[in-house]
Structure 1
Amino acid sequence: MKQKNNRIKWFTAFLVVIGFSYSCHSYAMRDARAYGAYIEDSEWKTTGSELECGLSQQIPEFGEGIFLQKAGENLEFRLKSYSRILKPGEASLIAQGPAWKPNTQARTITTLEVTDHTTPVQIGTPYSSIMLAQLNQGMMPTISALSDASITAGEQVKVVMSAVNFQQAYRDYVGCLSQLLPVNYKQIARSAIFFDTNDTSLSEGIQQQLDLIVRYVKADKKIQRIYIDGHTDDVGDKRNNVNLSKVRAAAVENYFKQAGVDNKLMMLRYHGDKYPALKNTSDENRARNRRVTIRLERK
Structure 2
Amino acid sequence: MRQRYLALLSVFASLPALAMNFQTRLENVEWKVAGDQFECRLGQPVANFGSAEFVRRAGEQAVFRLTSASRLLGTGSATLLAAAAPWQPGRGDINLGSVRLGHGEALLTSSQSQASGLINGLLEGRMTLVRSQSGSGQPVEIRLLSARFGQAFGEYQACAAKLLPMNYDQIRLSEVGFPRGLELDAPAKARLDKLLAFMKADPSVNHVQLDGHSDNSGNRLVNRDLSRRRAMAVQDYLLAHGLNESQVTLRFHGESYPLVTNSTAANRARNRRVSIELSRVAAAPSAAPAADSSAVLATDKPPAKPL
For residue 98 of structure 2, what is the aligned residue in structure 1?
112
* Partner Cα distance (1:221, 1:104) in 2: 54
TM-score of the pair, normalised by structure 1: 0.73
> Would the aligned equivalents of 1:92 and 1:108 in 2 still touch at CA under 8 Å?
no
The code of the aligned residue for 1:190 comes to L
User: Do structure 1's residue 70 and structure 2's residue 57 form an aligned pair?
Assistant: yes
Q: Does 1:260 align with 2:235?
A: no
Closer, same or farther: CA 284–134 of 1 in aligned 2, 3 Å: closer
| CA–CA separation in structure 2 for the residues paired with 1:167 and 1:85 | 31
Q: Which runs of 5+ in 1 are unaligned?
A: 1-30
Aligned mate of 1:155, from 127, 138, 156 = 138
Counterparts of 1:191 and 1:223, CA distance in 2: 15
Supply the distance in 1 between the matched residues of 2:170 and 2:19 (Cα, whole angstroms): 46
Separation in structure 2 between the aligned mates of residue 280 and residue 91 of structure 1, nearest angstrom: 50
Q: Percent identity?
A: 33
Is 1:36 the counterpart of 2:36 in the alignment?
Answer: no
SS state at 1:183 partner? coil
Q: Separation in 2 of the partners of 1:277 and 1:125?
A: 31
SS of residue paired to 2:112: coil
**Whose helix proportion is higher, 1 or 2?**
1
After superposition, what is the alpha-carbon deviation per residue over 1:217-237, rounded to whole angstroms, capped at 9, x for unaligned? 333444242111223344456
Instruction: Count residues in correspondence.
Output: 263
What is the CA distance between 1:159 and its match in structure 2?
0.6
1:170 match = 153
Distance between the aligned counterparts of 2:79 and 2:261, measured in 1?
55
Aligned to 1:246: 228
Deviations 1:12-54 (A, max 9, x none): xxxxxxxxxxxxxxxxxxx883212224532222222333222
2:73 to 79, 82, 86: 86
Evaluate the alpha carbon distance shift between residue 104 and residue 217 of structure 1 in structure 2; reply closer, same or farther with a 3 A threshold: farther
Mapped contact 2:179–2:270 kept (Cα < 8 A): no
Per-residue CA deviations over 1:175-208 (Å, capped at 9, x if unaligned) read 22223344343433332223256x2211112212
* Alpha-carbon distance change, 95 to 106 in structure 1, aligned in 2, over 3 angstroms: farther
1:163 and 1:224 mapped to 2: Cα distance? 42
Structure 1 pair 63/284, CA: closer, same or farther in 2 (3 Å)? same
Q: Which residue of 1 aligns with 2:119?
A: 132
Superposition deviation, residue 93 in structure 1: 3.0
**RMSD of equivalent CA atoms:** 3.0
Structure 1 residues 162 and 229: alpha-carbon distance in aligned structure 2, compared to 1, 3 A threshold: same
Distance in 1 between the 2:267 and 2:137 partners?
Answer: 63
For residues 263 and 168 of structure 1, the distance between their equivalents in structure 2, rounded to whole angstroms, comes to 47
